[in-house]
Amino acid sequence: MKAWVTDRLVDLDEARIPVDDRGLTTGDGCFETMKVVRGVPFAITRHLARLRRSCDVLGIAVPGEDALREACRAVVAANGDGVGRLRITVTAGRAPLGPDRGESRPGLFVLSGGPRLLPPVSSAAVCPWVRNERSPLAGVKATSYGENVLAQRWAAERGCDEALFANTRGELCEGTGSNVFLVVDGILRTPPLDSGCLAGVTRELVCELGGAHEVAMPIEQLDSAAEVFLTSSTRDIHPVHLLDGRELPAPGPVSAALQEQWRVMEARTLDP
């Protein structure tokens, strides 16, 4: 296996990250994960645009788009047909210990992995912690991922594969690594970006496909939803069959129709 480090391909076992890189010492970085379909990173244009937005918030200079695309292409080509996912990480680079950034150029790392194999349906539970929609990191896909790790572990201990967050206003926000959609009174709904949720690439595409209403919802709205599904770059449209112990149709009619629309779109273009 090979990875991209800074400006070249290296053997994965020989890849090195400096121990004073701020991505390691302070979590000062951003990342994107893309699925790879037929040897092509899916929706790469949207992913690179979001990476740039996240890095702009943190004040990290992003390598040029051509350089990022070349790094992704090279990693996919070097690692063969088994590539199912790509992760791009951009860090603030090397710096002395402490709060201040150094003068080094940002770190760039691209890794590949096999496809994420998931069951056809998902289970979820509302976790006891909340997202802070007023955080400066709200909506940023940052490498500071401790909250998600803890919530994911909390969900796993309860036999679920995803934890859902409310925000500080008591509104439905998102999952640890997913956006959430509800069907209520026959209407497809998803939390708006000002809820503090990530502007998911798959979320954006599903909103375009299904005409979802972006509307603030109390977390209790989950109790009356006729259908619930999760979206992410590795989940696509992933119906929830069990939510806090309540059984749901998975997929329901709205979810199933969207899954079919998704398959048609993906067969037509890999960079929608």
Domain spans in the chain, listed from the N-terminal domain onward: 2-113, 122-268
Q: Please name which of 173, 151, 160 lies closest in space to residue 238, comparing C-alpha atoms.
A: 160
Which tokens hold the place of 118?
Answer: 């998931």
Q: Do β-strands 236-243 and 122-131 pair in parallel, antiparallel, or remain unpaired?
A: parallel
**129-177 tens-digit pLDDT:** 999 999 999 999 999 999 999 999 999 999 999 999 999 999 999 999 9
Taking the C-alpha atoms of residue 87 and residue 104, their distance in angstroms, rounded to an integer, is 22
**32-78 tens-digit pLDDT:** 999 999 999 999 999 999 999 999 999 999 999 999 999 999 999 99
Q: Is residue 217 pLDDT above 90, yes or no?
A: yes
> H or E segment at 265?
helix 253-268
Q: Is residue 233 pLDDT above 90, yes or no?
A: yes
CATH fold of the domain at 2-113 = D-amino Acid Aminotransferase; Chain A, domain 1 (3.30.470)
HSE, side-chain direction, 13 A CA sphere, residue 83: 29
Q: To 10 degrees, what angle do helices 253-268 and 201-210 make? A: 110
Judge whether 141 and 107 are in contact, CB under 8 Å.
Answer: no
**Where do the DSSP E strands lie in 178-235?**
179-184, 187-190, 213-214, 227-232
Q: What is the CATH number of domain 122-268?
A: 3.20.10.10
